[in-house]
Amino acid sequence: MNTTAIELTHLRKAFGPLQALDDVSLTVPEGQIWGLLGHNGAGKTTLMKHLLGLLVPTGGEVRVLGRSPTGSDARALRREVGYLPETVAFYPELTGREILKYFARLKDVAPSQCERMLADVELTDAADRRARTYSNGMRQRLGLAQAMLGHPRLLLLDEPTAGLDPIATQRFYRKVKQLAGEGVSILLSSHILAGVERHVDRVAILGSGKLLAAGTLGELRARVRLPVVIRVRLSGAISEWPAVAGEEGRAAKRIGDGEFEFRVPEQGKLYLLQQLTARDDVVDLSVMPPTLDDVYAHYCGVSEQAPTASAEGAEQ
Amino acid sequence: MSVVRTIAIKEFRDGLRNRWVVAITIVFALLAIGIAYFGPAASGTVGFASLATTVVSLASLAVFLIPLIALMLAYDSIVGERELGTLLLVLSYPISRRQLIVGKFFGHGAIMAVSTVVGFGAAGLLIAGLTRQLANPEFWGAFGLFIVSATLLGLVFVGIAYLISVSVSEKSKAAGIALVVWFGFVIVFDLALLGVLVVTRGAVGDVGRTIFPYLLLLNPTDMFRAANLIGFSTVRSYVGLANSVNGGVLSPVVLIGGLLVWIVVPLWLAVRRFRRQEM
């Protein structure tokens, strides 16, 4: 098992004057879950299409499971890859079961596998309804089912949780984790960051066709040196931070009556916490390490603001 | 090969499901019976007339209808899936683009073939029964040739429909082009040919006569028409077209072969063009 799931070397793709992918080099080892993040139009879908051989690079090289997706054994390679396109569509006049069976035959997979897949995505009850009556979420789930046909070694999921409700999203990530546990490599793209970080091993951030960063969230955090945010609530509706003697004149920002916020570098965190917990007027205290949102915002050049509500939500 | 079969079966089932097969079959059967019965109305009588009249009038109407039906059936087979979004998904599967087009061709071809054979065949049985020709080999020879050539003509235009379908990115555009192509083959080409004929005959005497049969090979609908005319010596006299066929250049074998070439070439071009496309 020495092969890498995905290996891009100086991948370049131009559509006319537009550089859709600009010198992207990325190595994804087998058995990991990667999040491919970026704005709409950052190049996520274009990148996935290269992995499927649907697009031919303008420059550079693409290797998937050690092989070229546009080479002579591309078809054999595609048997080992599962793909969920963004906003997946199906034949409206066919039922869910018929669709899945059709795709199973195209992939030379026993049709008996379909029933288990349908159960897996909880579509058994709707399996005999025409796809035209499906909701977005159901279509997405059918899309996942077809991507998982034939036990692929690599799953490419383009915005897999778009249109899924929170329960279905959780269920989906549980399935992803289970598949990863079985050794499946997974690349999932998303422009919604909240929640993704808990489910992926590593992230790659794309912006305007360039690979801005790649690695574990911890690595990226360390690299960008974003401050840890510490919020403190004091007893009483005080509007100014009452500095205690010996405490360094740290910038405490008032964010509400009796509520203050500190931004400290990672290495200064413990010292400040010791000082804060030593005080007897501190009622409540929370520590927020930089989230994926913050890291992402940093890389995408968005000005650094206080963590947003969604970032807090993701951290709890 | 099983992938091609899977795709073909899906297309054929789609054809059954959306009633294409039934609709085309009924249209063909009604057309054949109607023409056989009302065909001689021009000469003042109604009722089943001679075999030659029946087949010739049938062929001259089918030549308009079959290409139109085949184009309508297949013009959106690739561009429709492209618009829907399923093409992207299908092409991420372990199939080649040639397999996709060939599979679809077998499916749509089967729809055309089954409709033609069942529709015209049933009509033929009825006509033969009513005119007491069930055991007449001449009737079945002529009608058989008609059915075979009609099927081939349908397949030609399914192939042409694919070539249109892979070449454009919008369904509506494909529909428009399909209509223009139909118009060109069944009407404009013949008019142009007639014009050329008139001009060259006036200017260079016999040249038109020797080139003319070969010019027919450029148009599958003319080949179909010719194939169904040359069988009848009685017809040749009053159909101007048959005159040029008389020279012996165009035998049924040549015409059927020509139709086969007209099936393969657009299909091959469609595959070639489709292969080079990025999704």
Sheet holding A228-234, edge to edge: A253-256, A259-264, A228-234, A282-288
Distance, in Å, from the CA atom of B165 to the CA atom of B78, rounded to the nearest integer, reads 5
Say if the Cβ atoms of A105 and B92 lie within 8 Å: no
Contact in structure between A214 and A296 (CB atoms under 8 Å)? no
SS3 A199: coil
In this structure, the strands spanning A228-234 and A259-264 are antiparallel
- State the pLDDT confidence band at B233, using cuts at 50, 70 and 90: low
The domain of B169 spans 2-275
pLDDT of B247 higher than 80: no
Contact in structure between A54 and A78 (CB atoms under 8 Å)? no
Helix axes B137-167, B252-275, angle to 10 degrees: 20
pLDDT at A303: 40
pLDDT of B202 higher than 80: no
Tokens of A56: 């031919």
Say if the Cβ atoms of B84 and A91 lie within 8 Å: yes
Say if the Cβ atoms of B94 and A106 lie within 8 Å: yes
Mark which residues 133-152 of A lie under 8 Å from B by CB.
Answer: 146
- Give the closest of A76, A83, A92 to B92, CB-based: A83
Q: What is the pLDDT of residues A105-120, one digit of tens each?
A: 999 999 889 999 999 8
Contacts of A78 in chain B (CB under 8 A): 92-94
- Domains: count for chain B: 1
Say if the Cβ atoms of B95 and A75 lie within 8 Å: yes
Chain B closest-CA separation from residue A65 CA (Å):
15
Distance, in Å, from the CA atom of B239 to the CA atom of B228, rounded to the nearest integer, reads 12
Judge whether A233 is closer than 8 Å to chain B, CB to CB: no
Mean pLDDT of all residues in B210-218: 77
Judge whether A49 is closer than 8 Å to chain B, CB to CB: yes
Closest CA relative to residue A36, chosen from A78, A84, A68: A84
Judge whether A244 is closer than 8 Å to chain B, CB to CB: no
Amino acid at A112: S
- State the pLDDT confidence band at A249, using cuts at 50, 70 and 90: low
Say if the Cβ atoms of B85 and A88 lie within 8 Å: yes
- Give the closest of A88, A90, A107 to B93, CB-based: A107
- Three-point CA angle A167, A172, A175, nearest 5°: 130
Q: What values do phi and psi take at B175, rounded to 5? A: -60, -45
Mean pLDDT of chain B: 86
Distance, in Å, from the CA atom of B23 to the CA atom of B18, rounded to the nearest integer, reads 9
Tokens of A301: 């050049």
Contact in structure between A187 and A156 (CB atoms under 8 Å)? yes
Say if the Cβ atoms of A89 and B86 lie within 8 Å: yes
The residue ranking higher by pLDDT, B63 or B197, is B63
Say if the Cβ atoms of B92 and A52 lie within 8 Å: yes
CB pairs under 8 A between A and B: 63
For chain B, first and last CA: distance in Å? 24
Chain B closest-CA separation from residue A93 CA (Å):
8
Mark which residues 94-123 of A lie under 8 Å from B by CB.
Answer: 102-103, 105-108
Beta bridge mates, A83: A156
- Give the closest of A54, A87, A107 to B278, CB-based: A54
Quote the strand ranges of chain A, DSSP E: 4-15, 18-29, 33-37, 59-64, 81-84, 154-158, 185-190, 202-207, 210-215, 228-234, 253-256, 259-264, 282-288
Q: What is the pLDDT of residues B12-41, one digit of tens each?
A: 999 999 999 999 999 999 988 888 887 666
Q: What is the pLDDT of residues B103-156, one digit of tens each?
A: 999 999 999 999 999 999 998 888 888 888 888 888 888 889 999 999 999 999
pLDDT at A308: 40
Distance, in Å, from the CA atom of A81 to the CA atom of B9, rounded to the nearest integer, reads 25
Mean pLDDT of all residues in A86-97: 93
Judge whether A130 is closer than 8 Å to chain B, CB to CB: no
Tokens of B243: 């005159």
Mutate to test the interface with A, among B3, B83, B93, B102 (most CBs of A within 10 A): B93
User: CA gyration radius for chain B?
Assistant: 20
Contacts of B88 in chain A (CB under 8 A): 54, 85
pLDDT at B220: 94
- State the pLDDT confidence band at A247, using cuts at 50, 70 and 90: low
- State the pLDDT confidence band at A250, using cuts at 50, 70 and 90: low
In this structure, the strands spanning A4-15 and A210-215 are unpaired
Chain A closest-CA separation from residue B57 CA (Å):
38
Say if the Cβ atoms of A105 and B90 lie within 8 Å: no
Say if the Cβ atoms of A103 and B18 lie within 8 Å: no
Distance, in Å, from the CA atom of A118 to the CA atom of B162, rounded to the nearest integer, reads 34
Quote the strand ranges of chain B, DSSP E: none
Distance, in Å, from the CA atom of A24 to the CA atom of B27, rounded to the nearest integer, reads 58
Judge whether A154 is closer than 8 Å to chain B, CB to CB: no
Chain B closest-CA separation from residue A153 CA (Å):
14
Mean pLDDT of all residues in A264-279: 84
- Give the closest of B6, B18, B88 to A106, CB-based: B6
Quote the strand ranges of B135-235, DSSP E: none
Mutate to test the interface with B, among A21, A106, A149 (most CBs of B within 10 A): A106
Distance, in Å, from the CA atom of B127 to the CA atom of B106, rounded to the nearest integer, reads 30
Mean pLDDT of chain A: 86
- Give the closest of A55, A78, A89 to B94, CB-based: A78
Least confident of A91-95, A156-160, B42-46: B42-46
pLDDT of A89 higher than 70: yes
pLDDT at B168: 95
The residue of chain A nearest to residue B17, with distances taken between CA atoms, is: A93
Distance, in Å, from the CA atom of A108 to the CA atom of A118, rounded to the nearest integer, reads 18
Judge whether A56 is closer than 8 Å to chain B, CB to CB: yes
Contacts of A155 in chain B (CB under 8 A): none
Chain A closest-CA separation from residue B12 CA (Å):
13
* Chain B interface residues (partner A, CB cutoff 8 A): 2-3, 6-7, 10, 14, 17-18, 84-86, 88-96, 278-279
Mutate to test the interface with A, among B2, B77, B87, B89 (most CBs of A within 10 A): B89
- State the pLDDT confidence band at B203, using cuts at 50, 70 and 90: low
Least confident of A133-142, B54-63, B88-97: B54-63
H helices of A155-304, in order, are: 166-181, 217-224, 269-278, 292-299
Say if the Cβ atoms of A91 and B86 lie within 8 Å: yes
Contact in structure between A24 and A207 (CB atoms under 8 Å)? no
Tokens of B262: 């007209």
Q: What is the pLDDT of residues B167-190, one digit of tens each?
A: 999 999 999 999 999 999 999 998
The residue of chain A nearest to residue B88, with distances taken between CA atoms, is: A85
pLDDT of A27 higher than 90: yes
From residue B266, give the alpha-carbon distance in Å to each of A19, B109, B155, B156, B253: 35, 14, 10, 8, 21
Longest dimension (CA), chain B: 62
pLDDT of A310 higher than 50: no
In this structure, the strands spanning A259-264 and A185-190 are unpaired
